[in-house]
Structure 1
Amino acid sequence: MALKDEILAVANFSVHLRSLWRHYQILFEDGELRRNLLHRVAPTFFDDLNQILIEQLILQICRLTDPAVTMKRTNLSLDYVLGEADFGLPVQRARAQTLRDSIEAFRTKIIPARNRLIGHLDRDAVMAGVPLGGANEADWIQFWEDLDQFLNLIHTRYVDPSVTFHLNNVGMISDADSLVEALKESTYFHLALAESAITLPLAEIASRSEFRDA
């Protein structure tokens, strides 16, 4: 299998990972008013979704940053790519290694959560009730910047030198904002229903919706 195809697979996986991050950002990192909206509409669902997205992000980042080989099986990870790639100029390889080391530093902060609470249900960790895998906002920003630059480096070298691949600039990877808009519109409808003069006309309009029985 050509390394080019493997690098494309890593890039596509990273785009999916970035998509999860954007879902999370749009829904849960846009301020208190946004969180209040979600809590008012479906508190249990969005609390669960928050946890699911966080766990998926941590799990998938750890998969992407796993060693090249574990239990005699090759992982399509950043370390694998770094080990297989010929970066041409020593300065390019040194740059890739620096980015990998910075990504690894981020991994060390989140790996306890993967190992003890997500990948396994460690008794001591569960009963202690102490959050694991904490990384601050600056850590996350640095991780995405490092991954963006690492992927751009190997994409330019092996996939298409004429195309600048920037993970953080990939568009249309989340439509969570459409969900937020729909939820906001539902609150407008409920406010309108409270106005007695238009309650019946609005109810009639709602009854004609194609999604009434969805």
Structure 2
Amino acid sequence: MPSDKLVAEFVALRERFIWTRICFNTFDSLYGGGGETKRIMEKSAITFFSDLNRVLQEYCLLQFCRVTDPSPDLTVSRIVNGLKAEALLTAEIEQSAKDMLAYRELIVAARNKIIAHADRKVALNETILGEHPAHELEQFFESMFDFNDGVGRALGIGPLDFRATPCEGDVLDLLRCLRQSVGD
């Protein structure tokens, strides 16, 4: 039987996972589709949506790093160590954690030298950090979902699917209002 402390910590981390996915889904709804959505943003508030693109990209990268930090805070590593200590760690959970940490290695330099700090050399040389193929991000999310479900089962609270995060007043409602206001 898992400790109440480990369950509470995982539930808190799961909430971070959900928030991370909500932020990404918002970004993807705005900038992942192109075409009609791009035209609506350009017609309504091009500068705002251009700025928001950068804000959401940086914030999502920050969230990906936050949940995979090697710190003793609410992170994947902390949950893995807790599961190991309570003899609840499975091979599936361990592999999912490793895959998430591998993605972190692709983006952590961008977090450390651009997002969290203004590294002088990077800024002056306009160095691009953190660039990677789209499939790496998709794999990160699949690993995050697998980790979430595996830990949820191991702790007896079950899996939770949060791939889609629609709700009243979300980005899709915003786009619908903008579409009406710009006459599309």
TM-score when normalising by structure 1: 0.78
Work out whether residues 23 and 174 of structure 1, in 8 Å CA contact, stay in contact via their aligned partners in 2.
no
- Cα distance in 1 for residues equivalent to 2:26 and 2:164: 15
**Aligned partner of 1:55 among 55, 58, 63:** 58
- Cα distance in 2 for residues equivalent to 1:5 and 1:146: 21
**Aligned partner of 1:109 among 102, 106, 128:** 106
Work out whether residues 93 and 147 of structure 2, in 8 Å CA contact, stay in contact via their aligned partners in 1.
yes
- TM-fit CA distance, 1:31: 1.7
- Cα distance in 2 for residues equivalent to 1:173 and 1:3: 33
Map 1:149-168; keep pairs closer than 5 Å: 149-160=146-157, 163-168=158-163
Corresponding residue number in structure 1 for 2:172: 177
- Cα distance in 2 for residues equivalent to 1:40 and 1:85: 51
Structure 1 residue identity aligned to 2:117: H
SS, match of residue 182 in structure 2: helix
Bigger relative contact order (CA 8 A; separation at least 6): 2
Structure 1 gaps of 5+ residues are 192-214
Calculate percent identity across the aligned residue pairs: 25
Work out whether residues 6 and 76 of structure 1, in 8 Å CA contact, stay in contact via their aligned partners in 2.
yes
CA radius of gyration, larger in = 1
- TM-fit CA distance, 1:171: 5.0
Work out whether residues 8 and 159 of structure 1, in 8 Å CA contact, stay in contact via their aligned partners in 2.
no
**Greater mean deviation of Cα atoms: 13-22 or 173-182:** 173-182
TM-score when normalising by structure 2: 0.90
- Cα distance in 2 for residues equivalent to 1:173 and 1:100: 33
Structure 2 gaps of 5+ residues are none
Corresponding residue number in structure 2 for 1:38: 41
Report the aligned-residue RMSD.
2.0
Work out whether residues 145 and 168 of structure 1, in 8 Å CA contact, stay in contact via their aligned partners in 2.
no
**Greater mean deviation of Cα atoms: 36-45 or 143-152:** 36-45
- TM-fit CA distance, 1:135: 2.4
- Cα distance in 2 for residues equivalent to 1:122 and 1:173: 40
- TM-fit CA distance, 1:12: 0.6
